[in-house]
Amino acid sequence: MWRPRVITNWLMRSRGGILRNGVDLSGAEDHSASVDPFGMCEADLQEVAKSVEESVKGYEASPVLERAAEYFLSLRRERFRPVTVLLLAHAVTDGDEHRMTIHRKFAEVVEMLHIASVLHNEIVDDADMKKDNQRLGTGLSNGLSLLAGDFLLARSVTLLAELRNCRVVELMANVIEAIVHGDVLHRESPNAAETFDDYIKKSFLKTAALLANAGTSVMTLENRSEADVANGFAYGKHLGMAYRLASDVRNMERVLSERLRRESVRNLLAMSATGPVLHTAEGDNRFKDALSRGFSGTGDDPLGALESIRTSGGIERTAAQAMLHAESAIDAARQLTSNSPVRSALINMVDVAVKDGS
C-alpha cells in the first residue's frame, strides 16, 4: 500500500522555510491535489457561519462575540477546525443532507469551544504582548471578554444537548477538561523543567484533543464501527499535532528572520518553550540553564540563544516530527473512506496544516 513520503528536500532552507513544500503526495493513485477541502465545505461553512452569527445577536456582549465570529470564520486558517469536522462527516454520511444538518451543528459546537478558549487565553496570558489586530478582545475589558467566552461555552453545551447523544456530550466535556488541564500545565511548568515529551502532552491537551475527540464524535454520531471511531480519533489527533508542531517551526523561522531587540527576544523565549527551543535545551546545558532563568541572568545572551536554536537542529527535528504526524493523519484518512474526492480533501487538509498552520 502506498504511504505518503516525506519530501526529500524539505530540510533544505529557503525563503519559504523548511516546511514550504508540505507533504509529498506523489505516488497516490487515488489522490488529487486539486481538491480544495475548504471549497468542498463552502456551502456547509456558510450555514455554520450563519448559525454562529445568529447565536451571538441580541446579547450585551455582542461586540466581542460578533468580532470573534467574524474574525474566525473569515480567515482560512481559522476555518480549519469546522472544515475538518465537516470533511469527516462527508466521509461517512454519503451526502445525506439530514445527517449533514446534524454535523453542521456539531461543527458549530467545535468552533464555539475553540473561540471560547482563545478569549479565555487572551486574559490568562499576557495578552497585551499581542498585536492589537490579533486580539479578539481589543478595546474591551477582561471581564467582558471573559463573559463572552463563558457565553460561547454555555451556548456550545446547549447545542451539544440538542444532538441528543450522551457519548458525544461526554467526549466534548473531556475536551473542555483537556484544554483547561493543558493551560494549567503550561503555567505551572518552568521552561527548563519541561521535556519535549511534556510539551507533546501539553500540546495534545491544548490543541489536538479538540480535533481528536471531534473526529471520534463524528463517527459516534453515525454509529460507525470501532475501526472507524479509532481512525476518526487518529485523524484528528495527528492533524492537530502536525498543525501545532508546524506552527512551532514557522513561528521560530519568523523570529530568526526578524531583527528583534535583545529584550524582545528575551520575552519571547521566556514566555513559552516550544519544540525547537526544547530540542535545543536537550543538547545544550548552558542554554537550558539560561532558559530556566528566563535569559535574565548575568551573562545570559538572548540573541546568542537564537543562534543556538538556529544551529542546534531543533527546528529540523520539530519539523520531522510534524511530518510524522502528518503521515499518520493521512493513513487514517485513507482508512476512513473510499470516496476519492472526500479522501483527497482530507489528505489535502493535512497538507494545509503543515504548510499554513499558524
pLDDT tens-digit series, residues 248-276: 999 899 888 888 888 888 877 877 788 99
Q: Would the CATH topology of 35-164 be identical to that of 166-358?
A: yes
Write out the CATH class of domain 35-164: mainly alpha
Tell me what pLDDT residue 32 has: 85
pLDDT category at 297 given cuts 50, 70, 90 is confident
Core vs surface per residue 284-315: b (16+ CB within 10 A) or e: beebbebbeebbeeeebebebbbebbbebebb
Tell me what pLDDT residue 239 has: 97
Radius of gyration of the chain (CA): 21
Centre a 10 Å sphere on the Cβ of residue 189 and count the other Cβ atoms it contains.
Answer: 16
Q: How remote is the C-alpha of 343 from its chain's centroid?
A: 20
Tens of pLDDT, residues 183-218:
888 777 656 557 888 899 999 999 999 999 999 999
DSSP H helix total and E strand total for the chain: 16, 0
Architecture of domain 166-358: Orthogonal Bundle (1.10)
Whether 15 shows a pLDDT value over 60: the answer reads no
Find out whether 251 and 274 touch, Cβ atoms under 8 Å.
Answer: yes
pLDDT category at 323 given cuts 50, 70, 90 is very high
Range 88-99 average pLDDT: 91
CA triplet 247, 249, 254: central angle to 5 degrees? 95
Whether 136 shows a pLDDT value over 60: the answer reads no
Q: Which residues, other chains included, contact 281 with Cβ-Cβ below 8 Å and sequence gap of 6+?
A: 191, 192, 273, 287, 288, 291
Residue spans of the domains in the chain: they are 35-164, 166-358
